[in-house]
Amino acid sequence: MTEVSKKVLYWAPRCLGLAFALYLSMFAMDVFGEGLGFWRTLFALFMHLIPVFVLLLVLALAWRWEWIGAAALAGAALVFLFNMPRHLSPHLRRSAALLIAGPAFVIAALFLVNWLKRAELHARR
């Protein structure tokens, strides 16, 4: 494995995880259209951002222990898939699965590869 591919493999799940947290945080912006007062909007924003805070905590732990990122992100994606509202149309269910669970599975897989190749990736650090 070349040095460039080692660096890409090391940084890809970390950077994609941060980008995924930013992506998920965009879904919290709908609270600003609710017409709530300042404090209720602030509280609603905080509530909507709890999954992002949990993801950032998982990323902080996975930065050092990649297996945590692999297990937690794959588990979160599975929980999302199995707890999707049943009243959604099949098209919306597929879209939600691809847009939310898909990136989580990809990042989990990258953390898993990081963990499996840990000795090789950290050989010269």
State if pTM tops 0.85. yes
| The pLDDT of residue 106 is above 60 | yes
pLDDT at 122: 72
Of 21, 19, 45, 47, whose CA–CA distance to 33 is shortest? Answer: 45
Q: Which two tokens stand for residue 86?
A: 């049943």
Per-residue pLDDT of 33-48, as tens digits, reads 878 888 999 999 999 9
Q: Pick from 123, 121, 86: which is nearest to 10 by CA?
A: 121
- How many residues make up the chain in this entry? 125
* Cα distance between residue 2 and residue 33, in whole Å: 49
C-beta separation of 107 from 114 below 8 A: no
